[in-house]
Structure 1
Amino acid sequence: MKIILANPRGFCAGVNMAISALETALAHYGSPLYVYHEIVHNRPIVERFQKLGVVFVNDISEVPNGGTVLYSAHGVSPVIRQHSQQRNLRAIDATCPLVTKVHKEAIKFAKEGYTIVLVGHEGHDEVIGTMGEAPASMVLVEDAADVAKLTLPADAKLAFLTQTTLSVDEAKSVIDALKQKYPQIVGPNKDDICYATQNRQDAVKQLVGEVDKVLVLGSQNSSNSQRLAELARTNGRPAYLIDRVGELKDEWFAPTDTVLVTAGASAPEEHVQDCIEHLRATFGATVETRVVREEDVSFPLPRELRVLAG
């Protein structure tokens, strides 16, 4: 067996920042510490923090008055911020700056009188937060079929935004459909899809033709991890999305396979290495690392924590 190890893979700058923020807050304030939604969409990370006394909540009312709450990397709506203030919560904002950028674009377009078409997945934490910035001015579409169903006036003043973790190709097809139906529609100056999502997808696109199978480390509720597996399948390769080595099934592989291994932007590297070690031990796999693109992006800790971190 030969393993092609994709690079870049795994943690992005937003995930690194959010996890560091939670570790810093936990060290300073102790537990119980509350996080609104999962800090990042990764089951092993959530479980690790739960063992340290972090409580993940889906309703801000679950945080006791005067408690400390950290907003996840996916962002929150203004209503959640208002409720936090009303409950006298110490709020730490670990929203990824690339998600914050989309929120600011939503506010700007809404103030300028646009109806905003948001391209994203219904129910995703990031989409809920973004739509909360201008709920009266925003409609959600998931695909080109949703665009066909839109009944907005042909001459409506329209803008579009996208969830940051979409498939680059899928987002383009939806945006193209929007532009065809509503030629006057405008968008942000720069693509909303985050650099890490694009880079990990580009690595799979570039390498998938050389392999028999694809193994993606990431959680089922991780949008960007799901997109990596979908991309492999679209290119005719079986793809398996797992959290950790215990979910790996030997029957997925043949001893002569070439396997592409990658990881979503919230998947810890230790689980990638555990899977590689298992494939080495079971199939005598050799590993070749392929660097498709270098990444040097980093984000500072939330303002509330920079002083604490020294």
Structure 2
Amino acid sequence: MTFAPRSLHVPALGVDTRAWEYGDETGETLILVHGFRGDHHGLEGIAARIVELRPELRILVPDLPGFGESPAIPGRTHDLALYGEWLRSFAATAAPSGFNVLGHSFGSLVVARAIAQGLDPLRLILINPISAPALAGPQAALTQLAIGYYRAAELLPERGARALLGNPAIVRIMSEVMAKTRDPELRAWIHGQHAQYFSTFADPSTLLEAFRASVSHTVVEYSDAFTMPTLLIAGERDDITPLAKQLDLQRRVRGSQLRIIPGTGHLVHYEAVHDSAAYVADFIAPLTVVSPSTRSIAAEAIAGGRA
């Protein structure tokens, strides 16, 4: 079963954010916020799978300002405060009657900052949340190299910076490090996704501003504001945030749930679509209270994701 998304233009902070809508246009809304350097394509697998499990839901997947098909916000520094402000504006326009929100990786920082600024979702889901400082993770040395890489790009004129930031060999190295699956077909597909969508940023300046935001904050800074029901989903082998730090975050957020997906790392949204979508669908509306046919689809999703 497939669900073709509908393309939307949603006004937010004076520009039109591009977004893709799945499922029932009148259903309960779930907003998905993608990670750094990606765009909506990174979460389309999870969005489509959730709608297979929950066709009554409405899923919105926007491109962050300055990435994919969403323009940068003119005259603004693309720091975490700006992204939090943008998400509050986007949600107020796109889902004025209420919504759930999910953030992956850098998207977890955007969502967390927005909540600290007043965003009030019904439920909160964070996949691979950034729960540790950038230089404290399992790949701290590689993070230091990444910081040097982006700083080098900052010194170049725009044409040279874009060439360096979009260098296919560097993007491939990143993809090889992050992917944990041993399935050659899945690895090849992940590399293809990164090659196609990892460099769809508006301009080098916006990308560099967003990178500084991504390595300067953690979700933990804002976790006291997480008073709504909260689900955390973490990859067991995440290179960005070690599992111990995700357990610490779960303990900090009263009543939160943590689902750990074995064998995966920071690319849960690519490597464990079935498991993560089933966890999200069950968190929003427990699968045990729906029709037998929907329960059957959910069971297949969980079994497929663990195969």
- TM-score, normalised via structure 1 length: 0.30
Question: Of the two, which has the highest radius of gyration?
Answer: 1
